[in-house]
């Protein structure tokens, strides 16, 4: 007797009849027909979601990584093919679009599938078209005919909606898509899926919210101490640490004892332990590109081999075939030999700085089970289909661009979600390498927390404003913005915030009664706070001035000591320049021979001089000279550094503080017999007042809404001549419509001022990098002192950028980022036709980064071409197209599609 028939025995006759009818209905459904094409049984949540799609409803599916939520999107593709309608499948990144295109082409045939990204346009009128979300947004703004017969739109990885840069594009698409289109949203697990679903229902009509917490492959959490691996949690309580872990780290049986210091587990030991435990293939997350490459080199140097001879031959053939378009010169420039030898041994790296060809190769080999260990940054966790038997997290602290921070529970879950291959592994394994700096209780808290809210990052942009106003009134455009998820969340949160403010106001009145006294203690407190604020602002101002004066007084050849990242460092100044936005910019060679570029913001304290090394005998840009300077630094005797300049004093402020302190000491509250009681109540009063002011500010910002932010942008666009007083578009506004890049206003303003009109195609490509390129912390930006048309254009771009930023501050708009000239000379070399190796040496960045930035520059040149044509500047448009062709060559133009 089957399980189903046994269940029927337990039911009443009426219930058995109803169940039988339900099964019969399902057997006649499109979902059942689709299931018969699969080699596996659909899970309950997949059936439920697919049924909602068949019923014509919108769907939001939130499920763990690897649970199979993409099946719902694939069912929508099945429906589109069989009903003769069209489906657009959107992803946040090009790599995912490429992957889905290949998947769909295998199932439905290349003639039925197309792809549209910034790089590739194939079969755009096919029944199934895969694209990045930006492409769909641009089609919606342009009212493209390609959308006329679209029935389904799949939004994959929709939790990207919280991403600062990509997120707003999702909401624009959700808002602008016609109501007749069914939207299927696929998300990783979020704790407020119901809230997001409620917004979708309000915006687009009924949307089914289907949440699955079930992992098809269970996940076991471990910690590795030395070469021993332990279950992380207590066998009877998943919220507590396994007692064996405390014993292994030398902390006894409880959390109160200080663990003894022990060396970190080496990468060789990690791989050896995983291999012995049968936990390969593994992804090891290292939050540093350099760390990933270093790990591969360590394993190679140690002679680690994780493949058989037959596997190595197969890997070699695949790598050679995949990289056959690389010339011998390119292979030498990008480290092909190292990549090849590591891959044939079953070892690889995967990060944003890796050459796209190599990344594609790693993904292909890993899915085929031929790569055993991949060292990856967190970008691998963002949707790429590369599940592993185990995931190792080498460290729980990462650099977020401004500080070293602990992983969030959401990030931890995203990373460990890769562990466990469906249909292959019985369970997945997540392993944290023990770090004495991290309390093991905190690791358990990280692994057990299940709160990952999805918060909107939506904000109006300049290009969005003119695109909306090209076909809507101001009131209608504001209505569009106020229908966003961002505004929906604000409206829901305002009620609770208002209640909190009322309670705090009542509490403040109670504390003020307790402070009621003839000595006027509240006035005394106000005076004290004024003195404290003045002292604090003066110290801050003096520190900033002291640092700037010190940097201004440094000269080439000065040896200095400074604090950075909690350590004392030594360096020698090899170049100085002045930037209007950043002040003095120093180029340094540190004691390891590395170059660093630093401004006053980078120094925690004022640096001190420890000697003078004089000018270098050769160019400091060469490794040999830097090594010589580093050696000289090491020979300087250890002594206390000397101040570069004296600390500044503001005598006027000091006189004001002295007068205020005199008033304070003569105040009658200063001598009140109840002063100690007043102090106690005052501390509570001050805390509540601080919280109240913060909440009142927050409420004011929330109630302003996106409509106010939109009005500010419009006011600035009117001032700049992009809109008339009646909010209709001018010729400049039509240009801005064509530009949807992050620096949309800057690009259009530069074009409208004719800054690029005299540039050759080569120089135009070089100048365009300033609209996209952002240096990483370790990148060194050589001071640019270019002459001629390009030099003048770069100076103008800097000037216009700063001018626009000042205008944004005046209009209370978040200012755009500072432009960066760090890729200009390298891109000019590349556009001239010079070899890749020259461009990499000039830029100082990795091959993968160079390819990525070049593709983004090519995208910006497309925007420049479109905007120039809108302005009737065909000459600039032709040079923009030529510039794109010059840089979109060789290794940059390579694609797996």
pLDDT, one tens digit per residue, over 505-522 is 888 888 777 777 777 777
271: its two tokens: 């791989």
Q: What is the pLDDT of residues 777-810, one digit of tens each?
A: 544 444 456 778 898 899 899 889 989 999 998 9
Which stretch of 200-209, 222-231, 266-275, 676-685 has the lowest confidence by average pLDDT? Answer: 676-685
Please say if the pLDDT value at position 4 is more than 50: no
CA distances, 364 to each of 343, 358, 370 (Å): 12, 10, 9
| Residue that finishes a domain, picked among 420, 448, 476 | 448
Q: Is 567 helix (H, G, I), strand (E, B) or coil?
A: strand
For residues 173 and 182, is the Cβ–Cβ distance under 8 A? no
Average pLDDT (597-603) is: 74
- Phi, psi torsion values for 271, nearest 5 degrees: -65, -40
User: Which residue has tokens 């529970």?
Assistant: 409
For residues 255 and 286, is the Cβ–Cβ distance under 8 A? no
Distance CA 177, CA 291 (A): 43
- Domain assignment present for residue 256? The answer is yes
Give the per-residue pLDDT at 7: 46
CA distances, 487 to each of 199, 356, 459, 704, 742 (Å): 10, 38, 10, 10, 22
- Using alpha carbons, select from 62, 65, 61 the residue that is nearest to residue 416: 65
204 and 334 both lie in a single domain: no
For the chain, what is the domain count?
4
518: its two tokens: 């003839």
Distance CA 375, CA 782 (A): 31
Q: How far apart are the first and last CA of the chain?
A: 51
238 and 194 both lie in a single domain: no
**What average pLDDT does the chain have?**
83
DSSP character string of 747-787: HHHHHHTTTTTT--HHHHHHHHGGGT----TT---PPP---
Helix axes 289-301, 267-276, angle to 10 degrees: 70
- Domain assignment present for residue 136? The answer is yes
Q: What is the pLDDT of residues 345-376, one digit of tens each?
A: 999 999 878 888 888 889 889 888 899 999 98
| Residue that finishes a domain, picked among 617, 643, 669 | 643
- Using alpha carbons, select from 341, 340, 378, 334 the residue that is nearest to residue 356: 334
188 and 293 both lie in a single domain: no
763 and 831 both lie in a single domain: yes
Distance CA 457, CA 760 (A): 39
828 and 767 both lie in a single domain: yes
154 and 295 both lie in a single domain: no
For residues 593 and 629, is the Cβ–Cβ distance under 8 A? yes
- Domain assignment present for residue 789? The answer is yes
- Using alpha carbons, select from 833, 892, 894, 883 the residue that is nearest to residue 860: 883
152: its two tokens: 């389904």
Q: What angle do CA 380, 383, 388 make, to 5 degrees?
A: 60
In DSSP terms, 90 is beta-bridged to 131, 155
Q: How many CB atoms lie within 10 A of CB 695?
A: 16
Q: What is the pLDDT of residues 694-715, one digit of tens each?
A: 877 777 666 666 788 899 999 9
Give the per-residue pLDDT at 98: 82
Distance CA 588, CA 597 (A): 6
182 and 253 both lie in a single domain: no
Q: How confident is the model at residue 8 (pLDDT cuts 50, 70, 90)?
A: very low
798 and 755 both lie in a single domain: yes
Distance CA 407, CA 396 (A): 6
pLDDT > 90 fraction of the chain, expressed in percent and rounded: 27
Torsion over CA of 782, 785, 791 and 792, rounded to 10 degrees?
A: 120
Q: How many CB atoms lie within 10 A of CB 263?
A: 8
What is the model's pTM?
Answer: 0.71
- Domain assignment present for residue 173? The answer is yes
- Domain assignment present for residue 59? The answer is yes
Of 571 and 594, more confident: 571
CATH number of the domain residue 812 falls in: 1.10.3380.30
Distance CA 486, CA 493 (A): 11
192 and 289 both lie in a single domain: no
- Domain assignment present for residue 476? The answer is no
Distance CA 414, CA 422 (A): 16
203 and 236 both lie in a single domain: no
Q: Where are the alpha helices (DSSP H) in 60-154?
A: 70-83, 94-108, 133-141
Contacts 24+ apart (CB under 8 A), 114-122: 115/897, 118/94, 118/855, 118/858, 118/859, 118/862, 119/94, 119/855, 119/895, 120/895, 120/897, 122/897
pLDDT > 70 fraction of the chain, expressed in percent and rounded: 89
Distance CA 51, CA 401 (A): 44
- Using alpha carbons, select from 689, 652, 686, 650 the residue that is nearest to residue 528: 686
Average pLDDT (606-623) is: 76
| Residue that finishes a domain, picked among 595, 625, 643 | 643
Torsion over CA of 435, 438, 439 and 444, rounded to 10 degrees?
A: -90
- Domain assignment present for residue 480? The answer is no
Q: Which residues contact 706 (CB under 8 A, 6 or more apart)?
A: 458, 459, 460, 478, 481, 482, 484, 486, 487
Domain extent at residue 138: 12-211
339 and 382 both lie in a single domain: yes
Strands (E), 32-133: 58-62, 86-91, 113-116, 121-122, 128-132
283 and 164 both lie in a single domain: no
- Domain assignment present for residue 124? The answer is yes
CATH number of the domain residue 376 falls in: 3.40.50.300
């Amino acid at each position: 007797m089957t399980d189903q028939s046994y269940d029927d025995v337990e039911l009443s006759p009426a219930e058995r009849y109803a169940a039988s009818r339900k099964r019969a209905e399902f057997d006649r459904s499109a979902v059942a027909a689709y299931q018969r094409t699969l080699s596996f049984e659909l899970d309950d949540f997949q059936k439920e979601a697919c049924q909602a799609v068949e019923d014509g409803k919108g769907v939001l599916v939130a499920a763990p990584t690897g649970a199979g939520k993409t099946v719902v999107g694939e069912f929508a593709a099945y429906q589109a093919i069989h009903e003769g309608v069209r489906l657009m499948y959107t992803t946040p990144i090009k790599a995912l679009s490429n992957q889905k295109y290949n998947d769909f082409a295998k199932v439905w045939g290349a003639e039925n599938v197309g792809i549209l990204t910034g790089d590739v346009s194939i079969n755009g009128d096919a029944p199934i078209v895969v694209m990045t979300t930006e492409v769909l947004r641009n089609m919606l703004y342009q009212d493209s005919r390609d959308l006329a017969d679209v029935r389904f739109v799949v939004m994959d990885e929709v939790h990207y909606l919280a991403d600062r840069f990509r997120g707003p594009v999702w909401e624009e698409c959700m808002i602008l898509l016609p109501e007749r289109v069914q939207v299927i949203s696929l998300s990783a697990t979020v704790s407020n899926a119901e809230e997001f679903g409620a917004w979708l229902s309000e915006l687009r009509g009924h949307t089914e919210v289907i949440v699955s917490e079930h992992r098809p492959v269970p996940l076991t959490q471990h910690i590795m101490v030395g070469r021993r691996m332990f279950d992380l949690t207590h066998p009877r309580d998943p919220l507590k640490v396994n007692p064996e872990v405390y014993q292994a780290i030398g902390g006894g049986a409880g959390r109160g004892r200080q663990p003894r210091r022990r060396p970190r587990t080496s990468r060789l030991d990690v791989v050896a332990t995983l291999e012995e435990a049968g936990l390969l293939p593994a992804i090891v997350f290292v939050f540093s590109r350099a760390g990933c490459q270093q790990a591969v080199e360590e394993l190679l140097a140690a002679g680690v081999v994780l493949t058989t001879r037959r596997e190595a031959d197969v890997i070699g053939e695949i790598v050679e075939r995949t990289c056959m378009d690389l010339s011998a010169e390119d292979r030498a420039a990008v480290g092909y030999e190292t990549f090849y030898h590591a891959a044939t041994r079953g070892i690889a790296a995967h990060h944003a700085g890796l050459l796209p060809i190599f990344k594609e190769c790693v993904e292909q080999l890993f899915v085929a089970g031929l790569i055993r260990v991949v060292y990856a940054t967190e970008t691998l966790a963002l949707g790429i289909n590369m599940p592993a038997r185990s995931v190792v997290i080498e460290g729980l602290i990462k650099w977020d661009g401004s500080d070293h921070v602990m992983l969030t529970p959401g990030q931890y879950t995203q990373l460990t979600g890769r562990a466990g291959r469906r249909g292959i592994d019985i369970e997945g394994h997540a392993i944290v390498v023990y770090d004495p700096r991290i309390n093991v209780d905190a690791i358990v808290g990280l692994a057990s927390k299940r709160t990952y809210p999805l918060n909107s990052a939506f904000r109006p942009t300049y290009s969005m404003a003119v695109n909306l106003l090209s076909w809507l009134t101001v009131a209608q455009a504001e209505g569009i913005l106020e229908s966003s998820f961002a505004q929906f969340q604000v409206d829901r949160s305002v009620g609770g915030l208002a209640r909190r403010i009322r309670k705090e106001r009542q509490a403040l009145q109670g504390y003020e009664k307790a402070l009621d006294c003839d000595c006027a203690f509240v006035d005394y407190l106000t005076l004290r706070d004024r003195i404290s604020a003045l002292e604090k602002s003066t110290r801050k101002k003096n520190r900033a001035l002291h640092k700037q004066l010190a940097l201004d007084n440094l000269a080439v050849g000065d040896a200095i000591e400074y604090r950075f990242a909690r350590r004392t460092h030594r360096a020698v100044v090899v170049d100085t320049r002045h930037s209007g936005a950043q002040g003095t910019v120093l180029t340094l060679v540190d004691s390891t021979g590395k170059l660093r570029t630093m401004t006053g913001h980078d120094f925690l304290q004022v640096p001190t001089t420890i000697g003078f090394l004089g000018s270098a005998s050769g160019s400091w840009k060469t490794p040999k000279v830097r090594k010589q300077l580093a050696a000289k630094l090491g020979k300087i005797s250890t002594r206390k550094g000397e101040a570069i300049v004296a600390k500044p004093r503001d005598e006027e402020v000091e006189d004001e503080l002295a007068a205020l302190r005199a008033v304070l000491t003569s105040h009658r509250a200063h001598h009140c017999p109840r002063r100690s009681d007043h102090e106690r109540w005052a501390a509570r009063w001050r805390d509540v007042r601080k919280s109240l002011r913060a909440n009142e500010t927050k409420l004011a910002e929330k109630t302003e809404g996106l409509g106010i932010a939109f009005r500010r942008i419009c006011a600035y666009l009117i001032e700049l001549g992009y809109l008339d007083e009646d909010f209709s578009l001018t010729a400049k506004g039509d240009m801005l419509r064509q530009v949807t890049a992050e620096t949309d206003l800057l690009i259009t303003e530069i074009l409208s001022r004719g800054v690029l009109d005299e540039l050759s195609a080569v120089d135009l490509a070089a100048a365009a990098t300033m609209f996209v390129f952002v240096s990483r912390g370790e990148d060194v930006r050589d001071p640019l002192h270019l002459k001629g048309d390009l030099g003048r254009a770069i100076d103008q771009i800097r000037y216009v950028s700063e001018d626009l930023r000042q205008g944004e501050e005046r209009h209370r708009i978040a200012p755009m980022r500072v432009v960066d000239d760090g890729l200009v000379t390298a891109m000019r070399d590349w556009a001239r036709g010079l070899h890749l190796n020259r461009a990499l040496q000039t830029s100082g960045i990795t091959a993968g980064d160079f390819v990525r930035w070049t593709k983004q520059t090519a995208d910006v040149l497309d925007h420049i071409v479109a905007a120039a044509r809108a302005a009737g500047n065909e000459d600039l448009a032709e040079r923009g197209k030529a510039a794109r062709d010059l840089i979109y060559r060789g290794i940059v133009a390579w694609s797996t599609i």
